[in-house]
């Protein structure tokens, strides 16, 4: 009798375990469930959070578009609290690091800032329905039109980092992939949102060909040659932070909307 009862108990436990498999999975692996159908059948579907993590960690490279299925996910991320919190976390870490530095009084300690999605935000442009947070093909003519308007707001936290570094005696240097022809419009845009002083504002000249990594490495090499010490470097693209003379520490801001190699 006891043996039968015990057997029943075990069978019931096994059946319950099977039936409530989904509920019994701990929270942290629950987000993986949507990629597997019932009975473990594979459903070809992108987990947008996994995609974003892979993009931010530079595991996925040379991607051209936000996956169509992730347009809404990326839109909610960018417009919501998470993007702001993620930016602020980077800024807090950058300031913590900057506080450990011994800044010389010679004005040669510089911090390299990228501009787009690092200093200025193109989110009003990317949120347009025809741009779809990077899920539609990049249109240079359209994007240049937006840049020319000079209406980009500051990236969350970036202005605070800029002001804090300035107050510490660390001089900002902007290195951007924006073309030289936009110099005046960019200066006006930077000043309008609160960036008013810098050591150098380096834009892409007609002879600056090649990859972004090569271009930015070359410009940083010139800075170092001129006696500047790059104590920090912040950008939304890995191409801002890889290559030569990247600086003593680099900081990566989030950007799941586009990739520049």
Ligand X SMILES: *[C@@H]1O[C@H](CO)[C@@H](O)[C@H](O)[C@H]1NC(C)=O
Contact residue for ligand X among 207, 209, 210, 227 (CB under 6 A): 207
Q: How far is the CB of 206 from ligand X (least distance, A)?
A: 5
Q: How far is the CB of 208 from ligand X (least distance, A)?
A: 9
* Torsion, Cα of 52, 53, 56, 60 (10° steps): -80
Residue 141 in contact with ligand X, rule: CB under 6 A: yes
Residue 206 in contact with ligand X, rule: CB under 6 A: yes
Residue 138 in contact with ligand X, rule: CB under 6 A: no
Q: For ligand X, which stretch binds (CB under 6 A), given 8-16, 44-52, 134-142, 215-223?
A: 134-142
CA–CA separation, 260 and 178 (whole Å): 12
Q: Which residues contact 243 (CB under 8 A, 6 or more apart)?
A: 213, 214, 216, 217, 220
CA dist 92 → 2, 48, 161, 162 (Å) = 63, 26, 8, 12
* Torsion, Cα of 163, 168, 173, 177 (10° steps): -50
CA–CA separation, 237 and 63 (whole Å): 12
Query: How would DSSP label each residue in 13-69?
Result: HHHHHHHTHHHHS-GGGGGGGGGB-GGG-B-----HHHHHHHHHTTSS-S--S--GG
Quick one: 144 or 244, whose CB is closer to ligand X? 144
Size of interface with ligand X, in residues (CB under 6 A): 6
Q: How far is the CB of 143 from ligand X (least distance, A)?
A: 9
Quick one: 33 or 148, whose CB is closer to ligand X? 148
Contact letters for ligand X, residues 159-198 (x by CB under 6 A):
----------------------------------------
Residue (of 189, 171, 156, 53) closest to 103 by Cα position: 171
Residue 45 in contact with ligand X, rule: CB under 6 A: no
Quick one: 97 or 146, whose CB is closer to ligand X? 146
Q: How far is the CB of 184 from ligand X (least distance, A)?
A: 16
Q: Which residues bind ligand X (CB under 6 A)?
A: 139, 141-142, 205-207
């Amino acid at each position: 009798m006891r043996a039968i009862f015990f057997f029943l108990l075990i069978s019931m436990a096994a059946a319950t375990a099977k039936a409530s498999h989904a509920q019994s999975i701990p929270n942290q692996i629950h987000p993986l469930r949507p990629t597997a159908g019932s009975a473990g059948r594979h459903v070809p579907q992108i987990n947008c959070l996994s995609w974003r993590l892979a993009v931010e960690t530079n595991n996925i490279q040379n991607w051209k578009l936000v996956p169509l299925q992730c347009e809404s996910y990326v839109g909610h991320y960018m417009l919501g609290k998470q993007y702001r919190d993620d930016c602020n976390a980077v800024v807090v870490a950058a300031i913590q690091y900057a506080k450990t530095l011994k800044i010389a009084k010679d004005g040669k300690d510089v911090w390299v800032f990228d501009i787009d999605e690092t200093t200025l935000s193109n989110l009003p442009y990317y949120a347009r329905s025809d741009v779809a947070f990077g899920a539609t093909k990049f249109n240079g003519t359209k994007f240049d039109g937006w840049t020319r308007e000079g209406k980009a707001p500051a990236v969350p936290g970036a202005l605070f980092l800029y002001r804090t570094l300035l107050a510490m005696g660390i001089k900002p240097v902007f290195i951007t992939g924006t073309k030289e022809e936009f110099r005046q419009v960019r200066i006006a845009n930077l000043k309008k949102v609160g960036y008013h002083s810098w050591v150098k504002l380096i834009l892409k000249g007609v002879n600056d060909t090649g990859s972004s990594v090569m271009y930015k490495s070359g410009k940083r090499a010139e800075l170092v040659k001129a006696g500047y010490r790059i104590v920090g470097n912040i950008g939304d693209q890995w191409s801002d932070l890889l290559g030569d003379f990247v600086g003593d520490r680099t900081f990566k801001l989030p950007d799941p909307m586009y990739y520049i190699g």
